[in-house]
């Protein structure tokens, strides 16, 4: 057989492999979407992924997180401590929406955030493994709520790295390729998150005699009005810090002067939060109580030359995964349809993501 015909045959085999992996990724996406895994209820989808990864030959571990919840970590038998790990999350926001598809899209809760990404990362890892390149796979619980799975995974990585350091120091993890819906563009940066709780107290009275009471809702509304008008920082490359008042609650009944009121706010950070925290406290005023229950920092991220870029206005598990190597952020699907009733992932983007993850791993 001539060299040309051998090359043609090899190209045909590679083409068939790529086609099979894309078809497998579409099938796997739908199978994962059809397993309800709203944050806190990820055990079933974790068990499914554990079984599938074991079936195709990965050394797969369940990393306990809380109750029956666990992360899934898989490595190739040929390299137990890979330098590159692909990662994303298994949980979704409510409500559960089963899968469906048409000629160009896969629909359903988690299709782009982030079960289609799981499927693309597994398909990419399989293609790389057949080419002699081994990457790890890390799938986490709780990203949509509190990143608890990422926190536990980080502790696991620290313990494992410490145990292996004396024997295999060269095998320390170098890169974490995290998957979120970025439309296959690599993120230059990811905005941080600062959650703020604002609470007000008052004194109940009959609403016919408001002078006998003290309205907590009035205090809260005044504080929120001041916070809405407060100038926020901006970065010329990343854009502005933004505020969302996501929840307001309070009061007893329409005919009762309210003795309590509460609001949950979320700021998207574009830099350090110290000055912003001070400004929030000063602006909110002394008639309300302000607390900061959660912060995920703003991050500038590792990039790969030649790929289209974006700025992620959302936060990810990356800040809680510092022991997994330098972070990159890229994945198929659009964040603009994530968390919506019509969530979907484009099949062509899913196929392109497999190529992209392989390309990134080879360049790294």
**Cis previous bond, 114, omega within 30:** yes
CA–CA separation, 90 vs 52, rounded Å? 14
Going from the C-alpha of 52 to that of each of 31, 160, 211, 278, 324, the distances in angstroms are 11, 24, 67, 49, 24
Nearest CA among 146, 97, 83, 89 for reference residue 118: 89
CA–CA separation, 238 vs 234, rounded Å? 8
Catalytic hit among 143, 180, 183, 214:
143
In the sheet with 100-101, reading across from the earlier edge strand, the strands are 100-101, 105-107, 344-346
Compute the Cα dihedral for 335, 43, 88, 102 and give only its sign: negative
CA–CA separation, 351 vs 353, rounded Å? 5
Residues linked to residue 58 through DSSP beta bridges, in sequence order: none
- Look up tokens 């293609």; give the residue: 127
Dihedral of the CA atoms 40, 46, 47, 49 (nearest 10)? Answer: 160
For residue 345, give both structure tokens: 């992932």
User: What does DSSP assign to residue 115?
Assistant: I
CA–CA separation, 152 vs 71, rounded Å? 9
DSSP letters of 28-53? HHHHHHTS--BTT--HHHHHHHHHHH
User: What does DSSP assign to residue 80?
Assistant: S
Task: Reply yes or no on whether 143 is catalytic.
Answer: yes
Nearest CA among 85, 90, 88 for reference residue 160: 85
Phi, psi values for residue 223, rounded to 5°: -65, -45
What is the set of active-site residues? 143
């Amino acid at each position: 057989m001539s060299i040309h015909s051998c090359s043609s045959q090899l190209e045909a085999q590679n083409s068939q492999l790529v086609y099979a992996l894309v078809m497998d990724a579409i099938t796997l996406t739908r199978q994962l979407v059809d397993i309800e895994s709203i944050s806190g209820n990820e055990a079933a989808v974790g068990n499914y992924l554990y079984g599938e990864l074991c079936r195709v030959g990965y050394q797969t571990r369940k990393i306990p997180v809380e109750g029956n919840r666990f992360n899934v970590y898989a490595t190739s038998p040929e390299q137990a401590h890979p330098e590159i790990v692909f990662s994303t999350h298994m949980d979704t926001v409510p409500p559960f929406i089963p899968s469906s598809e048409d000629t160009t899209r896969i629909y359903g809760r988690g299709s782009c955030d982030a079960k289609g990404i799981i499927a693309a990362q597994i398909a990419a890892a399989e293609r790389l493994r057949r080419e002699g390149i081994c990457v790890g796979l890390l799938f986490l619980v709780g990203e949509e709520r509190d990143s608890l799975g990422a926190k536990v995974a980080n502790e696991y990585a620290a313990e494992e790295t410490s145990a292996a350091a004396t024997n295999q120091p060269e095998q320390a993890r170098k890169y974490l390729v995290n998957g979120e819906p970025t439309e296959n563009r690599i993120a230059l940066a990811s905005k941080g998150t600062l959650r703020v709780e604002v609470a007000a107290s008052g004194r109940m009275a009959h609403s016919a005699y408001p002078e006998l009471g003290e309205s907590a809702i009035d205090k809260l509304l005044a504080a929120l009005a001041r916070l809405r008008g407060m100038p926020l920082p901006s970065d010329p490359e990343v854009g502005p810090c933004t505020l969302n008042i996501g929840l307001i609650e309070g009061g007893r009944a329409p005919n009762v002067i309210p003795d309590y009121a509460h609001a949950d706010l979320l700021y998207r950070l574009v830099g350090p939060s110290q000055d912003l925290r001070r400004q929030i406290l000063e602006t909110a005023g002394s008639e309300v109580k302000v607390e900061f229950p959660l912060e995920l920092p703003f991050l500038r991220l590792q990039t790969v030359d030649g790929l289209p870029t974006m700025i992620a206005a959302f936060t990810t598990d990356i800040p809680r995964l510092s022991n997994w190597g330098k972070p990159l952020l890229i994945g198929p699907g659009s964040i603009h349809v994530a968390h919506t009733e019509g969530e979907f992932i484009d099949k062509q983007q899913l196929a392109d993501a497999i190529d992209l993850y392989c390309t990134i791993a080879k360049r790294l």
